[in-house]
């Protein structure tokens, strides 16, 4: 990766876009100084024609890479046949997707509700959990969610008014923080004790990213204690999915199993677009491709050497404290709050990574990367760290 500093050239090419956006859009986003026009596989192409190695994947969304031909064909074919009917009617692609989710979760009794985003999937789960709680006790409507400084002990003191415990197996946006396996087991035990639902938000971790279909299916955390070793078989009652499910088309899904499925009946929840045929056709293809190409195992196989190189970097580089994460969701923890500067320096080198905390840089490449690309990313990141050290940038 040569430090060709083409971002300036891209800026020049996109001066018009920047001006048009400023005049036409509300300024809710602090954007990186680059505009992308196309993509293929793990590469994004900017409007000046430069290729960038994409280790963000549209926030862990484009797990099969950009412009995947089979997904594109599935979308085009379905759009030509039937794009939308609303949920007043039966459509086969939605049912087929729910069946695929049952199969990948290993939940033959799993039942899905489809929405259009991760937030909506969580909202549906919240509504389900509250109804479940109320069916037991009118006051059973509280939800316990884990904050950054969570400790297993909190679960021992849960009140009987909790209808659900909510957690992520690896907290993605909070800085790529893996949950300790014994905490997951403790959460399951607490939910069983209080007849509450264990809801796992797999919006970012689901569908192979961690090296298993779902994050809850594998040993997690830094303690080295697996749920199995702890004598517990940990499975949630509800999972929420979104990001990678349709490789870039907007979708959200909540899947419940067992008693939790009884909390919803006709009319209890709805979405105009949720589970519509085009998005479901894309998602069905995504799951088929992941299965056919062995991308879940690939994420584990690529994740291990990537993590080993990041661990090495943490030892060798003064500005890096540690690496953490699982599978192909990894992060570098920096000594200082300079993640944004490292991200900018990496962009100059045509490597796309993002900051999830002031001192944490996240890597979430598509599951199709090979080891030469993960090596290349670590080299780009190392160079970016050196750039930042030797040429301190002005913020802003
Ligand atoms: C991204 C994300 C969400 C929100 O998803 P949206 O599609 O942006 O609504 C929820 N939970 C987790 C774990 C996420 O990573």
101-141 pLDDT, tens digit per residue, is 999 999 999 999 999 999 999 999 999 999 999 999 999 98
The whole-number average pLDDT for the span 346-357 is: 97
| pLDDT score, position 372 | 97
Residue 314's φ and ψ, nearest 5 degrees, are -65, -35
pLDDT of residue 10: 54
The answer to which of 22-26, 43-47, 93-97, 158-162 has the lowest mean pLDDT is 158-162
Taking Cα atoms as reference points, which of 240, 211, 297, 198 lies closest to residue 101?
Answer: 240
Quote the CA–CA distance of 313 and 117 in Å, as a whole number. 35
| pLDDT of 181 | 81
- Which residue, by CA, sits nearest to atom 11 of ligand 1? 203
Q: Ligand 1 pocket check: which of 117, 207, 216, 242 to mutate, most ligand atoms within 8 Å of Cβ?
A: 242
Residue 367: which residues within 8 A CB-CB, separation 6 or more?
Answer: 63, 64, 208, 209, 290, 295, 296, 298, 299, 302, 328
**% of the chain exceeding 70 in pLDDT:** 88
Whether the predicted pLDDT of 159 surpasses 80: no
Confidence of residue 161 (pLDDT cuts 50, 70, 90): confident
The DSSP symbol for 106 reads: T
SS3 49: coil
Q: How confident is the model at residue 223 (pLDDT cuts 50, 70, 90)?
A: very low
Q: How confident is the model at residue 9 (pLDDT cuts 50, 70, 90)?
A: very low
Residue partners of 362: CB distance under 8 A and separation at least 6: 56, 172, 176, 329, 330, 331, 353, 354, 355, 356
Reply yes or no on whether the pLDDT at 239 is more than 90. yes
User: What average pLDDT does the segment 212-216 reach?
Assistant: 94
pLDDT value of position 153: 56
Amino acid 332: pLDDT: 97
Q: What is the per-residue pLDDT across 366-386, written as a single tens digit (0 to 9) for each? A: 999 999 999 999 999 999 999
> Which atom of ligand 1 is found nearest the CA of 171?
13
**pLDDT (tens digit per residue) in 272-290:** 999 999 999 999 999 999 9
Q: What is the C-alpha end-to-end distance of the chain, expressed in Å?
A: 25
Gap between the Cα atoms of 135 and 37, Å rounded: 51
Alpha-carbon distance of 249 to 310, in angstroms, equals 31
- Mean pLDDT in residue range 269-274: 97
For 79, residues 6+ apart whose C-beta sits below 8 A from its C-beta are 278
**86-94: average pLDDT:** 98
| CA 62 – CA 364 distance, rounded (Å) | 10
Q: Whose CA is nearest to atom 15 of ligand 1?
A: 204
Report the nearest-CA residue for atom 8 of ligand 1: 118
Ligand 1 center from residue 389 Cα (angstroms): 33
Residue nearest atom 3 of ligand 1, based on CA coordinates: 118
Residue 35 reports pLDDT greater than 90? yes
DSSP state letter for 41: B
Ligand 1: nearest atom to the Cα of 201:
13
pLDDT > 90? residue 316:
yes
Highest-confidence segment of 89-98, 162-171, 210-219: 89-98
If residue 167 lies in a helix (H) or strand (E), which one and from where to where?
A: strand 162-167
The length of the chain is 396
pLDDT at residue 225, rounded to an integer = 45
User: For residue 394, what pLDDT band results from cuts at 50, 70 and 90?
Assistant: low
* pLDDT value at 151 more than 70: no
| 172-192 pLDDT tens trace | 888 898 888 888 888 999 999
User: What is the residue-wise DSSP string for 196-220?
Assistant: -EEEEE-TTTTTTTTSSSSGGGS--
The whole-model pTM stands at 0.92
Res. 158 pLDDT band, cuts 50 70 90: low
User: Average model confidence (pLDDT) for the chain?
Assistant: 90
What residues are in contact with ligand 1 under a 6 Å CB criterion? 117-119, 122, 168, 172-173, 201, 203-204, 242-243
């Amino acid at each position: 990766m040569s430090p060709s500093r083409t971002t300036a050239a891209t800026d020049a090419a996109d001066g018009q876009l920047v001006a048009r956006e400023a005049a036409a859009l509300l300024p809710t986003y602090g954007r990186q100084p680059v505009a992308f026009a196309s993509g293929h596989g793990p590469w994004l192409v900017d409007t000046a024609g430069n290729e960038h190695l994409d280790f963000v994947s549209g926030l862990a969304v484009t797990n099969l890479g950009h412009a995947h031909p089979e997904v594109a064909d599935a979308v085009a074919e379905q759009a030509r046949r039937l794009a939308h009917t609303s949920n007043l009617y039966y459509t086969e692609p939605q049912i087929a997707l729910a069946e695929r989710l049952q199969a990948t979760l290993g939940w033959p009794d799993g039942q899905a509700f489809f929405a259009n985003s991760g937030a909506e999937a969580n909202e549906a789960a919240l509504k389900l959990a509250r109804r479940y709680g109320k069916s037991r006790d009118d006051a059973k409507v509280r939800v316990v969610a884990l904050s950054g400084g969570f400790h297993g002990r909190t679960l021992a003191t849960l009140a009987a008014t909790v209808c659900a415990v909510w957690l992520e197996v690896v907290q993605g946006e909070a800085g790529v923080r893996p949950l300790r396996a014994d905490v997951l087991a403790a959460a399951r035990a607490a939910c069983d004790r209080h007849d509450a639902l264990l809801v796992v938000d797999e919006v970012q971790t689901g569908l192979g990213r961690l090296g298993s279909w779902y994050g809850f299916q594998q040993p997690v955390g830094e303690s080295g204690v697996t749920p199995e070793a702890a004598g517990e078989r940990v499975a949630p009652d509800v999972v929420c999915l979104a990001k990678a499910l349709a490789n870039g088309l907007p979708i959200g899904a909540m899947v419940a199993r067992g008693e939790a499925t009884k909390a919803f009946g006709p009319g209890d929840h709805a979405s105009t677009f949720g589970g519509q045929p085009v998005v479901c056709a894309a998602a069905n293809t995504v799951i088929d491709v992941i299965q056919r190409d062995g991308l879940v195992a690939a994420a584990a196989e690529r994740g291990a050497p990537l993590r080993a190189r990041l661990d090495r970097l943490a030892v060798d580089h003064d500005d890096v404290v540690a690496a953490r994460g699982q599978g192909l969701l990894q992060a570098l923890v920096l000594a200082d709050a300079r993640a944004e500067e490292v991200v900018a320096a990496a962009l100059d080198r045509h490597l796309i990574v993002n900051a999830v905390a002031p001192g944490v840089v996240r890597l979430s490449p598509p599951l199709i990367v090979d080891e030469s690309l993960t090596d290349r990313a670590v080299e780009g990141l190392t160079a970016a760290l050196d750039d930042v050290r030797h040429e301190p940038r002005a913020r802003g």
